[in-house]
Every structure is written in C-alpha cells, then in structure tokens.
Structure 1
Amino acid sequence: MWSDVVDFNRFYRSRLGKAARGIVQAEIRAHWPDVTGCTIAGIGYATPYLKQFEGEANRILAIMPAHQGVTHWPRGKPNRVALADETSLPFDDLSIDRLLLVHALENSEHLRAMMRECWRVLSGHGRLLAVVPARRGIWARSERTPFGHGKPYSKYQMEKLLKDSLFEPLLTTRALYMPPSDWDLVLRTGPAVERIGRRWCPRLGGALFVEAHKQVYSATPARRVAFRPRLVPVAGIGPAVAGRGRAEPDVRFGIGH
C-alpha cells in the first residue's frame, strides 16, 4: 500500500508528478471555481492541490493520517498540517465548508469511520470532493504512481460509499487520460491527450472526482438507543400557603429516559 509521505513527496517532485498535479489541480478548480471566505480542509495527501486556493479561502488546513506520516506545509511559511487519526478529525462539528480527499479513501484503514468523521465536520451547506483512482483507468494499473496503490473505485462504488455515509453525490468527472509515463513525448502531448480522452473515451480517465454534500435530513445516531420509559420522582414547587414565607415542595411523577 502506498502510504508513506516520503513516497508522495518524491512522486510530486518528479516530472510525471508535476504533470499529473497540473491536470488534477485544474479539475479540482473546475468543481470549486469560487471558494471566497470558505474554510477548506484537505485529508490524505491533499497539500499539492490546496495552494491554489490561497488568497481566496478564509482558512486552509490539512490533515495527514497517522499511518502515512506528516510533512511541513506550506514551505517557508507557518505550518498548517496536522498528523491525526483519520477516525477522529481535530475539527469542530459543522466547521468545514470544503473538504478535499486526495489519496485518502483508497488508502484508508478505517474507511467507514473516516467517512462518518467527514460527515460530522462538514457544514450543512458544505461540499466534499473525493479524488480516487478510477478502476477502469490505466493509472490504477501502474505501481509507479500513488494512483496505482490502494483500492481503485468505479463510479457506482463511489456513489454507494457516499450514500451509505449519508452524503448525496452531485457530480462525477474524470481526468488523467495521459499514460503514467515520464517520456518526453508523453509529457509534451499530455494536454492534447487529456482533451482527446475527455471527448472520445470519457470513461477511461485515471482519476475519479466525485463531489457530494451531506444529507442532513438523513442523520441517524451512531448506535441505536433503546427507549425505556420509567417513572421518576420530580421535585416541584407547590402553591404558597397563606401565612408561610415559602412554598411547600410538591413531588410529582414524570417520564424519564
């Protein structure tokens, strides 16, 4: 499993990694063209794609899972990355407006619990965007990149995961049609291959981008709580009696939980 922060750093500093980052970054921007005043959080290894929102978003934060490791970001500035358990995100309820998951779902060791945490921290009008390796894409078959490690997803599998986690899928797109190769010819023709792939082979993109929002009306408790009504004494205040300075206690029975 591709889960070491050192490997992620090495890939995104390579020529192929920079080319892939440009393509994925553009697709993320297409989903979120305006983030003015938003609080954005990235989970997994999302830092290569968060810098584009500086100067627009109110706050930008990143969480890297404990099993992956952490690295300082942004370079030369105060750190905005935290190492955390993916099942216990260090954010308040409803505190995040945009939640970006990159190299997170395919490598998660506690997928359902992590998705539950994403639901908790996302605001009622917020948006979640998951970037995952596409099952049909060629990138999922190459171990030279992080998109070739972990579990790839189909559109149906992603939508089912989101629905089961109380999210409603809104839009699914694809990118990374160029081959995962650092040959000069491939890198030079990458943008043209992306345009051709989108037009003629739309289902063969190497990465899926699935945007969703939370189903607030479908919220359910994490565990079922049995309701057993019982009578409990409730101390109340009875009417004041003439000639006394205070009221007498009046003990009644109410329904307890």
Structure 2
Amino acid sequence: MRRDVLELRAFYASPRGGAAREMLGRKVVEAWGDAAGLDVLGLGYATPFLDSLRPKARRVIAAMPAQQGVEVWPGGRGNLTVLADEFALPLANALFDRILCVHALEESESAPALLAEVCRVLAPSGRVIVAAAARNGLWSNAEGTPFGHGRPFTRGQLEDLLREAGLEPTGYTRALYAPPFTWAARWADGFEQVGARLWPGFAGLILMEAVKQTFAVKPRGSRARIRSRAPGILAPVPAGRVSQAKPFDDKAPRA
C-alpha cells in the first residue's frame, strides 16, 4: 500500500526530508541541467525535485498515483498535478522528453507495468531517471521515512526492470549517504562527499537513467515527436552494460 500524500508532504517538510530533497535534486540537475524547452513529467511524488526545472522547461506535469492521493502544486499558482492510474496515465504517447520517477516503483503493485507506461509516454529520444531505495542502504530500513516502505532495489534489479519495459539503462549514481536520523540532516552534504568515496555501496538511493529503445516504438493515436539530443546526454553504451560516464559515474560493483 502506498504512503499517503500527506505523509510524503510532511516528510519533505522535515529536516531529513529537506536533506533528501537537496541530495537527490542535485543529482537530477547534474544530469539534465535546467531542461530548457523540454516537456517534463514527474511520476510518483516528484514535486520536491521539479521546482528547479519548471522555470525553463516547456511543460512540467506531476502525475500522482490514485492510491497515494494528489496535492496542488505549485502552491499559489495554477495547478500542474493530476491524480492518475499509474498503469494507464491520461497522457498521449511519446509526449515527454524527460520523466522523473520518485516514490513510484517501491510501492507499486506492478513495477514492470508502471515502467511500461513510462516507456509509452516517453519521446523516442527521451530520458528517464528512476530513483529507488537501495537494498543495502540504511534508508530502506528506516520506517519513519517513505524510503523504508515497499520494495528496495539493487542496481541489477533496476537494470532488468528497465530493459523489460523497453528502456535501455545508460548510467547510474547513488545518493543519501547520511544516516536516516534527524541529527544527521545538517551534515548531509559532508556525508555525501565522504560516503561516495569510502562506502558507495551503502547509499540510501540508487538513481538510474535510461533511454527509450526507439526501434521498438509503435506510436498509437498520436504522432511521435523526434527530439534532438540535449547537450550533456550520456554516451551510448553496448546493450547489457551501464555507462560509467558523468554525471552518473559511480564505480561501485553491481549489487
């Protein structure tokens, strides 16, 4: 069962949630820049990480699963969120250049079906980042946080799920090295720098980027829009391997 949207909002308003927003949000900006002129979708509970993209993106929408509930975002302005069936998003085929999935996979009744829907609405040259709780990390056991609920993943499991959905992994990174305690939130940046070097396998989150396998695209009902590659896109790699190119350049062994 998914965490309620009110629980998620309360977590990101706390010191621990603020640290998580900073560490994860930084990785998204490193990978995608400001998403200038692009169409962006946040799936799950991704709104804490979309604010930095909204000023220059062409369109930003947040889709929240029906079991979770939905909130108005951004506050005080026109609403950009929608309550949706995660297995049948009310969105056209091949619409989005960037899709960010946060708090989406761990509590889904069918992660493969959810990712298949992500693939459907992703443009042929689009990129998706999936952020999920790491099986070996401390955060997956912290029941007082959203990352301590549902199924955590290893890097290999995320790779397999993405490929099953028609998405090819191109890079990965990790985040949230600080322990999931309130006192550690103020030192989160220091933990992030040290942890990435000394204990990379114990990060709280795995972030994996993937691209659509365009040879398998069969648009239905709408005309797919072909986008040129955005500057800084990860170099293509042979099938079955994950790129170690920046910005997702962790060198930890597959676990």
For the aligned residue pairs, the C-alpha RMSD in angstroms reads 1.4
Q: Residues 13-67 of structure 1: CA distance to partner in whole angstroms, max 9, x if unpaired?
A: 1111111111111111112124110000000000010011122100100000011
- For residues 133 and 110 of structure 2, the distance between their equivalents in structure 1, rounded to whole angstroms, comes to 18
SS in 2 for 1:169: strand
Q: 2:231 — aligned with what?
A: none
C-alpha displacement of 1:99: 0.5
Q: 1:200 — aligned with what?
A: 198
Q: 1:239 — aligned with what?
A: none
Q: Name stretches of at least 5 consecutive residues in structure 1 with no aligned partner.
A: 222-257
Q: How does 1:36-185 map to 2 (within 5 A)?
A: 36-183=36-183
Q: 2:187 — aligned with what?
A: 189
- For residues 137 and 29 of structure 1, the distance between their equivalents in structure 2, rounded to whole angstroms, comes to 23
SS in 2 for 1:213: strand
Task: Say whether the 8 Å CA contact 1:63–1:84 is kept in structure 2.
Answer: yes
TM-score, with structure 2 as normaliser: 0.83
C-alpha displacement of 1:150: 0.7
Runs of 4+ in 1 over 6 A off after TM superposition: none
C-alpha displacement of 1:155: 0.3
Larger strand proportion of the pair: 1
Query: Which structure's relative contact order is higher, taking Cα pairs within 8 Å and 6+ residues apart?
Result: 2
- For residues 117 and 187 of structure 1, the distance between their equivalents in structure 2, rounded to whole angstroms, comes to 35
Q: Name stretches of at least 5 consecutive residues in structure 2 with no aligned partner.
A: 220-255
TM-score, with structure 1 as normaliser: 0.82
- For residues 110 and 136 of structure 1, the distance between their equivalents in structure 2, rounded to whole angstroms, comes to 22
Residues 1:217 and 2:233 aligned together: no
C-alpha displacement of 1:220: 8.0
**Whose radius of gyration is greater, 1 or 2?**
1
Task: Say whether the 8 Å CA contact 2:2–2:67 is kept in structure 1.
Answer: no
Q: Which moved more, 1:151-160 or 1:31-40?
A: 31-40
Question: In the comparison of the two structures, how many residue pairs are matched?
Answer: 219
